[in-house]
Amino acid sequence: MQSSSWRTKVWPNRRLMLNNCLLFLGFFFTITFVRTTYFQPGDSYSYDLQSSISYKTFFQHLQSYSYPVSCQKLFEGDPNEIQHANNLLRNKTNSYSAISNEKYHVPKSLCINYRSERFNQPFHYRDSSVNRQFPIAFTILLHDNVEQFERLLRLIYRPQNIYCIHVDSGAERAVFESVRSIAGCFDNIFLTNKRERVLYATFRRLQADLNCMEDLLKYPSWKYLLNIAGSELPLRTNSELVKILSIYRGFNDIEGIWRNRNVHRFEYVFKYNNNTRGTHESYISRTDERKKPPPHNISIFKGSAYGVFSRGFVNYIQTNPIAKDLLNWSQDTYSPDEHVWATLNYNTHLKVPGGSKAQTDPAKWTGRFCNWGEYRCHGAIIRGICVFGTADLPLLAGRHELIANKFYLKVDPIAYQCSEELLVNRSKFELPLANAQIYRQMSFLSSP
C-alpha cells in the first residue's frame, strides 16, 4: 500500500515536469526562430570590418564594396594612405560598380527584413530622450542614383524625425518605384504627392522644396527643417544637430549676400525654353523685358538653395501673403531658389520668424560647406563646384558646417565610404559638441 501510494504521488509530478519542460523548449525555439528571422542585426553596415554573421539575408545584394583603406589615416592626411587609396581608385579591378536602381525595390512583405538588415544601427531604432524631444524635418531631392540616396538616408535616419522625399517627375520609373518602396517601410518617411520636373535655374527647383514644406507642416512635432540633395552628406551627427539647433533657439541659419547679389538674375524677365534635354543653361533664357521692383519694399539678397529653417519660417513661407507675393514675383527670375530664403530672412521689416539682420556681407552661416574654388579640389570640379575626393577628407574633418556639398560615388567612392564610416562611428556615442563656441557666437543670435 505504501509503494502504491508513493507512485500515485510521484507520477503526476513527473508528468507535470515533463509537460513544463516541453512547454519551455517550445517557447525557447519559437523565440529563437522569430529573433533569428526578423530581429537579428545584420552586418551590412560593417564599418569596423567585422566578420559577417552567418544567417539568412534578403538584401545582401545592396552591400556596397568596401575598399581596404584606413579611413583614420586618410582623415589624418597620411600621404602613403592617400597614395594607396588613389592606386585603388585607378585599378580597374577595384573600380566602382553602381548598384542598379531596380535592385532597391523592397517588397512590402520584406520590410521587416529590410529594416533589420539595412537600418540595423542602434540609433536607427532608439535615440536619447533629448534627441527624441527635438525632432528634425528633412526634405531630400533626387532624380537618380537610389544607391546614394539610400546610403544618405541610413546616415540621417532617426525614428523621431520626419522625412519628405521629392523624386523628380522626369526620373526613371525604377528610381521612383524603388524610393517609394523604401519609404513604404517606415511611418516617418513619405514621398510628396506633388512632383516637379526640376530644371536648372528655374522656379521648379524651388517649388520642389515648397511642396515638401507644405506636406511637412502637417506633422506638428518637428522644430527645424533641413533641405538636402541626394548628392550631399552630413558633417554632424543627429545629436550634434540637436545641440546646435538648440543653441540657435528658433533663428534661421541662411546664407545672405548683398554686395555681390547677381542683380542680372532678377532685373529682367526670364522665360522657359522648350529644350529640356540640352545643357542646364538652355532651360531658361533672359528677355529684354525689365521686371517690376519686388513687392512690399523688399530688397533682394542672394543666398543658397539650402538652409536651416525654423518651423515658424516654414509656416510663414506657406501661409503669409507677403511671402506668397515674393514667390509669385520670383516665378520668372533666374534661379529663385538662391534668393527667396535669403531675401525673406534678411528683410527685417518683414518680421519673419527666425529672421535676422545681416551683420556681415556675406552673412556668416553654418548650413553648408561647398568648395567653389577657395580650396584646392582633389576630386572633380563639375559646374564650378568641387565634388570631394579622398584627399579632401582632412579638410572636411576640420569643418564646422552641418552638411557638405557635394559627393558622387562615381567620382570617388572612397571619400564617400570614409565619410560614412566617421559619421556612423561618432553617432554611436553621446560626445560633447566640439567647437560649441562657434555656434554660440553666430552673428544672427545677437541680431536686434
The 3-class secondary structure across 357-387, one letter per residue, is CCCCCCECCCCEEECCCCCCCCCEEECCEEE
Task: Report residues of the chain scoring pLDDT below 50.
Answer: 1-12, 27-54
CA gap 79, 20 in Å, rounded:
65
Q: Are 394 and 77 in contact (CB under 8 A)?
A: yes
Task: Determine the pLDDT at residue 22.
Answer: 52
Does the N-terminal peptide bond of residue 362 adopt cis geometry, omega within 30 degrees of 0?
yes
Active site residues per annotation: 338
CA gap 127, 133 in Å, rounded:
10
Task: Determine the pLDDT at residue 18.
Answer: 52
Nearest to 181 by CA among 100, 104, 115: 104
Task: Determine the pLDDT at residue 283.
Answer: 85
Residue 172's contacts (CB-CB under 8 Å, 6 or more residues apart) are: 101, 144
Collapsed DSSP state (helix, strand, coil) of residue 435: coil
Task: Determine the pLDDT at residue 95.
Answer: 78
Task: Determine the pLDDT at residue 93.
Answer: 74
Name the residue ranges covered by the structural domains of the chain.
67-94, 101-256+356-446
pTM of the model: 0.86
Task: Determine the pLDDT at residue 17.
Answer: 55
| 383 φ, ψ (degrees, to nearest 5) | 50, 40
Partner residues linked to 189 by β-bridges:
163
Can you list the alpha helix ranges (DSSP code H) found in 191-339?
203-216, 238-248, 264-267, 311-319, 321-329
